[in-house]
């Protein structure tokens, strides 16, 4: 893969469409052989909690669970802000498989390495 895209997600399950669109974009980019990293920050970290995406199905889009599964199957990086997780009382063992806890330095590194960054 020659190109890299970073998608930053700050919306959680209370905004189903805004939580879903980043995963639509990410899987579309993967289908174009783009390396994709999703970074969850703020309320976006709630999407990494086991079971949360199971009930998110914004009108006109594939269910978020299906999009997340596809993203992970296609070897997308799924990075989750450690301070954001801690401030919401989420334990690491509550996160979906494939989640990787990170801090600010990783966010900066990932975005500097990317050709483009999208934020939702």
For 68-97, give the DSSP string: HHHHHHTT-EEEEEHHHHHHTT--GGGBPT
3 state SS of 37: strand
Query: What pTM value is reported for the model?
Result: 0.96
Superfamily (CATH) of domain 4-119: DsrEFH-like (3.40.1260.10)
**pLDDT tens per residue, range 18-75:** 999 999 999 999 999 999 999 999 999 999 999 999 999 999 999 999 999 999 999 9
Residues contacting 31, CB < 8 A, separation 6+: none
Q: How confident is the model at residue 2 (pLDDT cuts 50, 70, 90)?
A: confident
Asked if the model's pLDDT at residue 1 lies above 90, the reply is: no
């Amino acid at each position: 893969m020659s190109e890299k895209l970073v998608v930053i997600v700050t919306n959680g399950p209370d905004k189903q469409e805004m939580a879903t669109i980043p995963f639509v974009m990410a899987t579309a980019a993967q289908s174009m052989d783009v390396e994709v990293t999703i970074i969850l920050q703020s309320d976006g970290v709630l999407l990494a909690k086991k079971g949360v995406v199971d009930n998110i199905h914004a009108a006109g889009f594939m269910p978020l669970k299906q999009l997340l599964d596809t993203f992970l199957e296609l070897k997308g990086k799924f990075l989750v802000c450690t301070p954001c997780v801690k401030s919401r009382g989420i334990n690491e063992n509550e996160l979906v498989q494939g989640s990787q806890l990170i801090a600010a330095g990783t966010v900066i590194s990932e975005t500097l390495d990317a050709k483009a960054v999208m934020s939702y």
